[in-house]
A and B are shown apart, each in its own frame.
Chain A
């Protein structure tokens, strides 16, 4: 056995950095906090790579499959005698893979921000929050039990909130942060209830016990039902609701586009590469339960993923804010991952979808982080988010241009870039399981290629716009991460995920299915070609089309009015129809009745206070009459 106990440092270093930078904020030189934060993150990254190397390539001889290893754990609190919460580290293929993803992107973002956030107010606060986020996210993926995962899940949510509202003097940033937190909180309520039910049935939080295919939960299930549906289906669907909230699946997606109010490096790290895939990770983590016990819930996962990928792709075609286009493309890509899990089987080749989902998660993290950081470099150069105010930037930003092009080709699924491989596996998995979803995904790959190249042509080609200041390429701290990520986007597709990250830890053979791959590339090329025609040079076609298809265009442009629905529910119903009446009721009914009691007491005492007049003759009169009445009564009752 290899000793992995050092992995606990992967969590402790970022936590320590958060406390250090947070507590010395204002006393330490801002630049210093950036450097030590980045330095610490590089150590963590190296540790993660070392862990991955040890775990994947140095396993004890003779072991066929990748085992789950728990190198460190400690009891945090006891709920009942049997139900307790551990804090610990769990290493298995997906958690080790996530360690690599998170630390890589986080390190890139740390380096990039030295340039991007240079001179910003709250520079050290930014690095403190980045460390907090990295700590929470790493804690989430290595959680040994579902409760620990939930804890870090909430911490991730708060770090996301703090970073979205980073520019706290800007009202839009504040409300975007609030929206993100509340929407995901609502989804997390589902997660929490799901855990309540799951732990009630199984009596444990422990992932190893929960997801063991020979374990009690999977072999026995439960006889408990609620409203005619098995309690486990409830539990796992609710848990998926939590995942859908974090991963911005329809209809819980509305926070993600607004979250782009945060600094761009944050969007790259949290809202593209790591936190938003937590939902996918959650489903993957509990996958054996989904597959063996509640296939219905898995179908929901597949369809929610499939629908979101199409829905978001359609919206992305009409948005003009480049970060929002990328946000919708993130939703769409995560939809792919969810769908892949939803159509997957378990074990060996049946687990193709599972493997493809994790593969795509990995490649997506690289190219999407690259796209966002590239977008950051563009925004940094031209000081706007709106692609209508950009154009011809390839001359001014050569490095950004090339790396952005690589990322755009990657997301469009062009060989031999990484997403070609991962997306292809997803399509194959979907093809084997559900033809309907498969064709949706075909359509989505075409749309994806179209809107991404629409973005690319609009920004780097097209009309040459006049800029107030001549845009210039970003400093090395920003371009070096772009180049590193570009290399990653190009070559990570060659990592043999089928040998490393599979549903049951066992390797399997992968075959290329040309009948799926060739049409998929062709559709992508069509999308690119359409974008070329529309946007390479200034052309009237897009505007004409927008007029011809007025309503579809309007609906897509307004994101299908989902925000308005939410606004209606929260403002008109919850605030005005529930909360206001409750507040009124409390003052005018509950409190008024309390005041009423005091009023009655007052009134009565007012009436009877005349009795205590202090006049002797009145007292004498009352006394004598009382005696007389009593005497009469006494005599009357005595003689009757």
Chain B
């Protein structure tokens, strides 16, 4: 078996192991071990990848393998990674493991909970390693569907409504996406070869413009919904608010990234001409997402809603940067995905921990937590500072790469739009400091809170790992940025050629 497939096999084996566990303690231990192994594999993958590049392998995808799966339609299981997918796999591994630790105390049907969670993560990892559109779509669905159960069963508040809303909107997007992918498939013989789902093969083909015009928006929106593209983002606030902690973490931290990743690896890479032509429409939409999400967040009163709207803003920036279509902005988009994934996972983890103690997420009912639970509060401040772009934490470098990349665009429209998006950093500061000031600082609002305890060891593991990752990227971004940069050449080349035409 090849190395990359392990990323799907390990979760599956973990699930089998969980089936045989007898109680919550065993279940969570097995899950933690399984996902711990996964994280070690992911870190190993980074080193292997860097060593491979160091050794002079300049192939677009490395560790590549393909197995024919369904011959008559030429569906294959093709896997391979470049710097971008390696980075995304690392992100996913970190968030999944910390998510397990954040759900250490799930006592309602723990086996089923962890099985669904890990099943979901198998889909995520599969998505990032596959290079075949069909396989990719399959893994995508594997990742999306358990969400319904996870929210519907283990959620809080109007969980059935939220679960249904989220699933229906994402399914609607999937339908659109499927049509888009089939459209690509049926045009993949434009260069004279066989029909294929292989991304690398299709990239060499010039899909006819008429087809691109039709299928680019479908694919982009299909993925974009998952990336909280305005106006298809409304599943996000309700979904996050009802989801259990680990699910929010995974969903905002990793699943939303499938949207951004798919949008550029599939939609932009395979249909660059239509991308160039239609980018302005989506640029406006994503520009709205960025500012609108931030303004929306100012007014919210529920911590999870605030974070959901902030995610709309930050993920909007990802798609925004992708649409700027130059190397720096694209690099920034990937960095932003990673950075947002880490810090939003940290946010949701902390919100879950605070909610678990105080049983409220309303900011006007909370207050003075810094005095009661300093570790959690300091972590929250760090997450907040990362979110508002403090240098030395990951958010800063990601946003700056985006702004400086996008501003290199020769067109004035794009530069003005960049400035508008950059204005969101002020609004972000407003809602972050508002929350910090309200819930962490000030007098203690409820004397019952005085009895609450600070972070337990498993919560410290969960937040600690995330903080180390956030600070690590923030302080020394060069390796990551360079790793991503080298892998952007093929797609940038495609997009440049589209301009020349």
Contacts and interface: CB of A to CB of B under 8 A. Distances in A.
Interface string B19-38: 00000000000000000000
A165 B296 contact: no
Contacts of A197: 407
Which size bracket describes the interface of A in this complex?
35 or more
Which size bracket describes the interface of B in this complex?
35 or more
A79 B328 contact: yes
B385 interface: yes
A155 B390 CA distance: 7
Binding site secondary structure of chain B = helix
A2 interface: no
Interface in A163-221: 165, 168-169, 171, 174-175, 177-178, 181-182, 185-186, 189, 192-193, 196-197, 199-200
Contact of A171 (B298, B423, B429, B442): B442
A76 B479 CA distance: 10
A9 interface: no
Given A158-B385, A178-B437, A199-B404, A77 B169 contact: no
A586 B397 contact: no
Contacts of B442: 168-169, 171, 174
B481 A77 contact: yes
Contacts of A466: none
Interface string B420-453: 0011011001100110010011110000000000
Interface string A137-181: 000000000010001101100100100010011010011011001
B429 A181 contact: yes
Interface stretch (A107-115, A355-363, A492-500, A574-582): A574-582
A121 to B, nearest CB: 9
B231 interface: yes
A590 interface: yes
A600 to B, nearest CB: 13
A165 B442 CA distance: 10
A178 B443 contact: no
Interface string B389-411: 11110001100110111011000
A452 B242 CA distance: 59
A267 B435 CA distance: 25
B396 A151 contact: yes
A591 interface: yes
Given A171-B442, A174-B442, A590-B231, A575 B390 contact: no
A77 B370 CA distance: 35
Contacts of B295: 578-579, 582-583
A192 B433 contact: no
B468 interface: no
A83 interface: yes
Contact of B404 (A168, A169, A196): A196
B298 A579 contact: yes
Interface string B294-317: 011011100000000000000000
B403 to A, nearest CB: 6
A80 B327 contact: yes
Given A76-B478, A80-B408, A169-B368, A158 B429 contact: no
Contact of B403 (A83, A154, A175, A196): A196
B429 A78 contact: no
B298 A78 contact: no
Given A154-B389, A154-B390, A582-B292, A78 B481 contact: yes
Contacts of A178: 433-434, 437
Contacts of A193: 419, 422
Q: Which of A76, A151, A574, A586 has the most CB of B within 10 A?
A: A586
A579 B295 CA distance: 5
Given A77-B401, A594-B234, A579 B422 contact: no
A186 B231 contact: no
Contacts of B478: 75-78
Given A192-B403, A582-B299, A590-B231, A185 B426 contact: yes
Contacts of B405: 79-80
Contact of A80 (B292, B328, B368): B328
B208 interface: no
Contacts of B426: 182, 185-186, 189
B234 A575 contact: no
B422 A189 contact: yes
Nearest to A15: B392
Contacts of A151: 391-392, 396
Contacts of A593: 231
A155 B392 contact: yes
B183 interface: no
Q: Which of A79, A181, A578, A593 has the most CB of B within 10 A?
A: A79
A539 interface: no
B128 to A, nearest CB: 24
Contacts of B390: 154-155, 158
Nearest to B371: A169
Contacts of A189: 422-423, 425-426
A598 interface: yes
Contacts of B415: 196, 200
Nearest to B164: A598
A181 B440 CA distance: 17
A154 B391 contact: yes
Q: Which of B235, B415, B433, B443 has the most CB of A within 10 A?
A: B433
Contacts of A154: 389-391, 396
Contacts of A182: 426, 429-430, 433
A568 to B, nearest CB: 16
B168 interface: yes
Contacts of A595: 165
Contacts of B368: 169
B404 A79 contact: yes
A196 B299 contact: no
A158 B485 CA distance: 30
Contacts of B292: 582, 586
Interface string A453-480: 0000000000000000000000000000
Q: Which of B231, B237, B385 has the most CB of A within 10 A?
A: B231
A200 B408 contact: yes
Nearest to B300: A583
Nearest to B292: A582
Interface string B142-182: 00000000000000000000000100110000000000000
Given A154-B390, A174-B442, A77 B299 contact: no
B277 interface: no
Contacts of B481: 77-78
Interface in B464-480: 477-478
A78 B482 contact: yes
Nearest to A197: B407
A260 to B, nearest CB: 18
A262 B433 CA distance: 17
B493 to A, nearest CB: 15
A186 B442 CA distance: 24
Contacts of B212: none
A586 B433 contact: no
Contact of B296 (A76, A78, A174, A583): A583
Contacts of A169: 368, 371, 441-443
A308 B415 CA distance: 33
The 3 closest A-B pairs by CB, nearest first: A151-B391, A583-B299, A591-B234
10 contacts: A75-B478, A161-B433, A165-B437, A169-B368, A171-B442, A178-B437, A200-B415, A226-B412, A580-B299, A586-B234
Interface of B: 165, 168-169, 230-235, 237, 292, 295-296, 298-300, 327-328, 368, 370-371, 374, 385, 388-392, 396-397, 400-401, 403-405, 407-408, 412, 415, 418-419, 422-423, 425-426, 429-430, 433-434, 437, 440-443, 477-478, 481-482, 485
Given A181-B433, A185-B429, A579-B296, 18 more contacts: A78-B482, A79-B401, A80-B405, A83-B408, A152-B391, A168-B440, A175-B437, A178-B434, A189-B423, A189-B426, A196-B403, A196-B415, A200-B408, A582-B299, A583-B295, A583-B296, A583-B299, A598-B165
